[in-house]
Structure 1
Amino acid sequence: MPTERRHKLKLAASVLCALALVVAGCGGSSYKSKVEDAAKQFKKTSVDAGTKLRNARTKQAFAAGVNEFQGAVKTFNGKLQSLSPPSSAKAAQARLISVLNTFSADVGAVRDALNKGDVAQIRALQGRVVSDVAGVQSAAKELQSKAG
């Protein structure tokens, strides 16, 4: 796996941890407590997935990390969608769900390009993944501030 791509994936894995920590800082009201509980589980599963991604030396190992990450995003987003956020947090919650879905899809596209040996596509996706990381960080901070 090329060093540059591995670096980008390490960055992505780090963001997963940062996201979980930002959202986990939301404790307090019932909504905040539920978000915090979901974030704690997301943190655990995303850290595990991030470790697999960072340590991947084969396509199969990388794919396993991506699959685990995508499962963590799906579970976390499902928990968020099941909540009734205060009106001040509705847009922020929807944005976080949206950027996480985009991030998950782009990481999946990297996996697919790797499996096909499509180096040009992998390079093209690197910029999107880095942009996704910034979007996730921003959306998580916004949810934290809007949730009260």
Structure 2
Amino acid sequence: MKAFIVLVALALAAPAFGRTMDRCSLAKEMSALGVPRDQLARWTCIAEHESSYRTGVVGPTNSNGSNDYGIFQINNYYWCQPADGRFSYNECSLSCNALLTDDITNSVRCAQKIQGQQGWTAWSTWHYCSGSLPSIDSCF
């Protein structure tokens, strides 16, 4: 009976951990959200190196006390409002918790804003994704 209760508790808690995507599922969802196909290989590479395609990841505390959230590891000092009320420029006008959900729409929109303002080098893992990348064509 204890094992059953533990399994039920874990099943109920699972959504709080987000989901783990793969390269193709991310590419397809981003394409459906209107992300240009010629950018998808770069976005999937960034997500692979930033979060291992996991939507519910909060990164370790950075040297300035900030944290990075979600599949693209978006920083809470500049781009989203942390739940604890700490100061944030909140350029994407959303809660950091909105970047941790299974619905990646907020993460994609905010990441696109970052990329538009700062380019691909906004992500520290960019060097893994700056050269020739495998095609995503087999995903479609």
> Do they fold alike, i.e. is TM over 0.5?
no
TM-score by length of 2: 0.30
Q: When you count helix as a share of all residues, which structure comes out higher?
A: 1
- For normalisation by structure 1, the TM-score amounts to 0.29
Q: Which structure has the greater CA radius of gyration?
A: 2
